[in-house]
Amino acid sequence: MSPSSATNSILDISIMKARSDQVSLSAFAYIYSELVQYHQSRVSSISELEQRLSSSGYGVGFKVLELLAYRTRETKRETRIMSILQFVSSSVWKSLFGKAADSLERSIDHADEYMIFDYNPITSNFVSVHQSSADAYVSGIIAGVLEGAGFSAKVSAHTVDVEEGEGRNGLVGLPSRKDKAVFLVKFAEKVLERDASLSSR
């Protein structure tokens, strides 16, 4: 092997800076389609498929958190629920999908639930049926990031109809949809107790 070809190895590229090149949408769609088909051929129900896709995304979430923490050289970690969710819906979303999530909201009915909205989730844009099942991969990524940061939570993906007049910040080149993905984050009791104790200080 010549010295010039050794320096062009992917292992020689620094992970400190964000990469300017992106994976093409068609390449991602193909690889993700293969992942879904792989799991689909080994399950007997939609809930099993969602579980497997979520598990696949879980490990990715840990690695994304580790990479972003390393790149930013952040010395402090997030300790509050809203701070970590804003990190997920902005920094994590931008590093994975090239844009921030469309919205982050707290549930009116349940204090332990938060929702991250995405009008054009890349994982289900080219899926004809069971779109929330395809988005389960992203819910696994969110759960992995949160667990790695010390915020135990159950994350599930849901599909909700877009209301008339509702804004959408979709990616260029993706088909427009009549529904949106909602990632429901339900935190563990111990996380809520810790957040409440930090609020009272």
- CA-based radius of gyration for the chain: 18
pLDDT in tens, 19-55: 555 778 888 888 988 998 899 889 999 899 999 999 9
Buried-state track 159-194, b at ≥16 Cβ within 10 A, e below 16:
beeeeeeeeeebeeeeeebeebbbbbbebeeebeeb
Residue ranges, the chain, pLDDT below 70: 1-8, 10-11, 13-21, 128-132, 164-177
Strand order in the sheet with 153-161: 103-106, 113-118, 179-187, 153-161
pTM: 0.83
Phi, psi of 185 (to 5 degrees): -110, 120
Q: Which pLDDT belongs to residue 55? A: 95
Cβ proximity of 132 and 46 under 8 Å: no
β 153-161/103-106 pair status: unpaired
Give pLDDT, residue 64: 93
C-beta separation of 133 from 53 below 8 A: yes
- Specify the pLDDT at position 151: 95
Residue with tokens 């929702």: 115
